[in-house]
Amino acid sequence: MQTCVGKTNSHKTFFFKCTSCNQSYETPLPSFIIEELPKLVDVEPYKLRRSFENGNIKFYNNHGIKALQFRKSVGNIEAGSMICFGDKIEIIRGFPKIRRTLMLYPSLKIHFKDEVAVEEKMNGYNVRIALINSKIIAFTRGGFICPYTTKKAPEIMDMSAFFIDHPELVICGEMVGSENPYVTHSYREIGKLGFRIFDLREKGSNKALSVKDKIKLLESYNLPRVNFFGLLKIDEAPERILELIHQLGNEDREGVVIKDPAMIIEPIKYTSSQAHNGELEYAFTYPFDFGRAFFFSRVIREGFQAYELNETEDEISSRAHKLGESILFPMINTIKEIAKDNHASEDILIHADDLKEAENFARHLRDLGVVATVHSFNEGKAIIRREHQSTSDRISNFLRGGLY
Ligand code: ATP
Ligand code: MG
């Protein structure tokens, strides 16, 4: 066993540390990093070398694909980017981060031009699907190939004709539904598992098709897309979006992504109060397994939304009440469970052909750093049990009198 300790003294060597004997030894940097990679991406060679040495760019070999994975962004190359080696080199860029507005009225005017395209923001997990070595492969956000999504996406929608005609495009979308392994949310029109496409991007450059071209192309291949609420003039957009958010929230839907119709200016997201509370409720079920920034950010969103909507005292009271309930109920419930000697764990339901496939998915989750095991398998349904270890440990320590 060897791990890179990520220190270098010259531009062509780096150190490995043997994990059994603890000795460091010097080894040449792979020539691909020095010679080939700078030709493929527009990043200064020293930055690529440094990222490789620090472990932010890693060799990846899983699910039949060999690649170079960007664990963190380097220059203009997004985290989650994959440089896949096969019949030819394919560059699947990471999905760009979408920034959030807290105040629609000033933000939209400053950020966009005269019109915006408003789409529904679906609450699931981000997936990029592309043709690699003539196979349809699904990547999750960090650039990991997900065996479950790779298997399920083609069962949900037929992408074969699309990829025959457009092998250079990447389908970016959200896997959604009540039975998905990462983010479960019920949508009446989707049920257990569904897919909604929100972007079509070019391999290599990550250039997105305009909203109009994307819709046209998706419709011509009968591929499912996110709801499109129309093009809005910039002056009427904030008010219309606030109305939309209110309706979406009442239907327990997440929010909107506001886009430049040409997809040149980067999009912005805005979400409903129900979405904020839903996420708080989930996170406070496992309070010690989430960073504090996660909680803080959702509370801040509520404050600005109430302000922008110019809410009355009664409306603010009602908002405060829901926010408090989303925090306290789940947390107290978890404390009670742990007091009864139960664990803070979560059961994930997936459909699998056999136990081996379920085990394979649990292994994939463990590779991502999640503590997960197959709890049961019965007639095609596997329950994967995910442990929220810090929550269990910290709460049981406090229950025994440990100090905070
Ligand atoms: P990010 O780094 O993009 O902010 P995040 O995990 O914080 O990621 P979200 O707050 O859910 O994510 O918001 C961005 C995500 O929303 C996108 O990565 C994408 O998966 C999802 N999404 C859902 N609907 C859309 C849409 N219509 N257009 C773009 N993204 C969408
Ligand atoms: Mg999301």
Query: How high is the pLDDT of residue 247?
Result: 98
Query: How high is the pLDDT of residue 7?
Result: 42
Please give the DSSP secondary-structure letter assigned to residue 288.
G
- How far apart are alpha carbons 49 and 12 in whole angstroms? 9
Residues 120 and 210 in one domain: yes
Within-domain flag for 402: no
Residues 143 and 248 in one domain: yes
Calculate how far, in angstroms, residue 367's C-alpha sits from the geometric centre of ligand 1: 23
Mean pLDDT of the region 90-105:
98
Residues 133 and 23 in one domain: no
- What H or E segment, with its residue span, contains residue 356? helix 355-367
CATH number at residue 168: 3.30.470.30
Containing structural domain, residue 356? 345-387
Residues 377 and 352 in one domain: yes
Mean pLDDT of the region 84-91:
92
Of the two residues 347 and 27, the one the predictor is more confident about is: 347
Q: What is the 3-state secondary structure (H, E, C) of 301-334?
A: HHHHHHHHCCCCHHHHHHHHHHHHHHHHHHHHHH
Confidence (pTM): 0.92
pLDDT in tens, 215-265: 999 999 999 999 999 999 999 999 999 999 999 999 999 999 999 999 999
Q: How confident is the model at residue 30 (pLDDT cuts 50, 70, 90)?
A: confident
Residues 243 and 203 in one domain: yes
Calculate how far, in angstroms, residue 120's C-alpha sits from the geometric centre of ligand 2: 12
Within-domain flag for 358: yes
Q: How confident is the model at residue 161 (pLDDT cuts 50, 70, 90)?
A: very high
Write the CB contacts of 150 (distance below 8 Å, at least 6 apart in sequence): 63, 136, 137, 138
Q: Where are the beta strands (DSSP E) in 19-109?
A: 24-28, 57-62, 65-70, 82-85, 90-92, 99-100
CATH number at residue 334: 1.20.58.2250
Report percent pLDDT > 70 for the chain.
93
Ligand 1 neighbours by CB, cut-off 6 Å? 95, 97-98, 119-122, 126, 174, 198, 226, 257, 269
Residues 199 and 329 in one domain: no
Within-domain flag for 65: yes
Query: How high is the pLDDT of residue 26?
Result: 56
Ligand nearest to the CA of 271: 1
pLDDT in tens, 336-392: 999 999 999 999 999 999 999 999 999 999 999 999 999 999 999 999 999 999 999
Q: How confident is the model at residue 28 (pLDDT cuts 50, 70, 90)?
A: low
Calculate how far, in angstroms, residue 86's C-alpha sits from the geometric centre of ligand 1: 29
The tokens describing 58, both together, are 């890693």
pLDDT in tens, 272-302: 999 999 999 999 999 999 999 999 999 999 9
Nearest atom (ligand 1) to Cα of 141? 18
Torsion, Cα 360 364 367 370, to 10 degrees, reads -110
CATH number at residue 37: 3.10.450.740
Within-domain flag for 11: yes
Residues 59 and 134 in one domain: no
Write the CB contacts of 398 (distance below 8 Å, at least 6 apart in sequence): 404
Query: Which residue has the least CA distance to atom 28 on ligand 1?
Result: 198
Query: How high is the pLDDT of residue 86?
Result: 84
Number of domains in the chain: 4
Mean pLDDT of the region 45-70:
94
Average pLDDT taken over every residue of the chain: 93
Residues 210 and 288 in one domain: no
Helix (H, G, I), strand (E, B) or coil at 282: helix
Residues 39 and 172 in one domain: no
Within-domain flag for 395: no
Query: Which of 97, 174, 260 is the best mutation target for the ligand 1 pocket, counting ligand atoms within 8 Å of the beta carbon and taking the most?
Result: 174
Q: How confident is the model at residue 87 (pLDDT cuts 50, 70, 90)?
A: confident
Query: Which of 93, 228, 257, 258 is the best mutation target for the ligand 1 pocket, counting ligand atoms within 8 Å of the beta carbon and taking the most?
Result: 257
Query: How high is the pLDDT of residue 15?
Result: 53
Nearest atom (ligand 1) to Cα of 226? 27
Give bridge partners of residue 171 from the DSSP assignment. Answer: 129, 200
Which of 323, 339, 355 delimits the end of a domain? Answer: 339
Query: How high is the pLDDT of residue 3?
Result: 43
Query: How high is the pLDDT of residue 8?
Result: 42
Helix (H, G, I), strand (E, B) or coil at 273: helix
CB-facing half-sphere around the CA of 152: CA atoms within 13 A: 24
Residues 59 and 185 in one domain: no
Residues 335 and 353 in one domain: no
Burial of 261 (0-12, 13-18, 19+ CB in 10 A): middle
Residues 252 and 119 in one domain: yes
Residues of 83-113 as b/e, b for ≥16 C-beta within 10 angstroms? Answer: bbbeeeebbbbbbbeeeebeebeebbeebbe
Query: How high is the pLDDT of residue 9?
Result: 41
Which of 75, 92, 109 delimits the end of a domain? Answer: 92
Query: Which residue has the least CA distance to atom 2 on ligand 1?
Result: 97
Within-domain flag for 310: yes
